[in-house]
Amino acid sequence: MTPSFTIAPLPRRILVGLVMVGVAQMCGPLQAQTTPWNMNGSSIWYAPSGINVGIATATPAGKLEILANATSTEHLVLQDTSASGHAPGITFNVSGLNGVQDDMAQIKGGHIGTWTANGYLAFLTQYDHGSGLSERMRIDNFGNVGIGTTTPGRPLDVYGGAIADRDTQSAIVVSTGGNGMNYIESSTNYNSAGNAADLNFTDNFANHTWMTIKASGNVGIGTTNPQQLLDVAGTMAAREIIVTQTGADYVFDPAYRLAPLSEVADYIKENHHLPDVPSAQDMQKNGASVGEMQAKLLAKVEELTLHMIELEQKNRELETQLRQIKAAAPAGQEKQGAKEVENRNDQ
């Protein structure tokens, strides 16, 4: 059984330094079962190892246990009397290499400015041996929590990255009160190979996922199974869309075969759509690529332009022939010459 001793209950706040010094000087409240307290200058300690200290309890469960009920005014006080703005803290110290003591972490309080009411609580850790303690987290006088910053401006202010992690699913919850909550969560698509999980943006009140980023990188808006880099299940509005796609300049290549309009007319009569353009049924079933359709429609415009150029050239040739006939033929033969030109054009 671990030996223990008891310090009788103190009526109000416990000032650690005063209690220890008072114990050393008066020895009244002490009920020690083994070696008495030792004092050396300003230090006081209890020599034997394995001793638990209890304040207001006869059965301390740890090295130091202070017992107080919920309505009690008794509590542990760490007080700064130097008006430095920094209250004493709790330091976690370990023996490093060659028995050198090293402060690994610390919890301390303080206040900002001249008003002691502007209190804060800071949490410090040491990155490496000998590097010194650095503040990692702070709770300010407004209750704001800062991680990586000493001036948090929100209930949670994180300077740097943040990770929400769980075996199958993790989430960041954004709530404005009531029943409405929004989630940014990773799905259960995580596998043992360590592949990235899907990321969902969910409205808990409407029970609907508005956007999904798949592990493949595909983004779905209105769908949780996007098949393209951006898959929108609904109407999308934009002031401008830039599509980088190969144009249709190949139509102007001298080797390109420009189908006669009579051939195009026969194709339309049989298939009810333009050549090289998908039918309405195909587009409804499989969709249509904006870039590909733009290129196909541009090709048709360029083909029509070539047909117009060709027709204009023929018209000019006919006009030239008519002027020549009018100039050379007698008055009685002018109509006959014009008729021959029309017949040649029809052929």
Beta carbons within 10 angstroms of residue 140's beta carbon? 19
Extract the residue ranges of the chain whose pLDDT is less than 70.
Answer: 1-49, 70-74, 82-86, 95-101, 113-117, 130, 161-183, 187-196, 204-206, 330-347
- Residue-wise pLDDT for 90-127, tens only, equals 888 876 556 666 778 899 888 876 655 678 899 999 88
So what's the pLDDT on residue 340?
64
Q: Of 212, 215, 209, 211, nearest to 190 (Cα)?
A: 215
Helix axes 290-328, 334-346, angle to 10 degrees: 160
3-state per-residue secondary structure call for 63-107: CEEECCCCCCCCCEECCCCCCCCECCCEEEEEECHHHCEEEEEEE
What token pair was written down for 347? 């052929």
- Residue-wise pLDDT for 15-38, tens only, equals 344 344 444 444 444 444 444 566
CA–centroid distance for 16 within its chain: 46
Residues β-bridged to residue 5: 53
Distances (CA, A) of 240 to 222, 246, 307: 21, 19, 32
Region of residue 98 (left: phi > 0; alpha: psi -120 to 50; beta: else): left
C-beta separation of 73 from 12 below 8 A: yes
Domain boundaries, the chain: 1-77, 82-162, 165-237, 249-328
203-228 burial string, b = 16+ CB within 10 Å, else e? eeeeeebebbbbeeebbbebbbebee
Beta carbons within 10 angstroms of residue 307's beta carbon? 15
C-beta separation of 232 from 222 below 8 A: yes
Based on its alpha-carbon atoms, the radius of gyration of the chain, rounded to whole angstroms, reads 44
Residues β-bridged to residue 99: none
Q: What whole-number distance in Å separates Cα of residue 216 and Cα of residue 228?
A: 10
So what's the pLDDT on residue 29?
42
Q: Is the pTM of this model over 0.85?
A: no
Mapping DSSP to helix (H, G, I), strand (E, B) and coil, where does residue 287 land?
coil
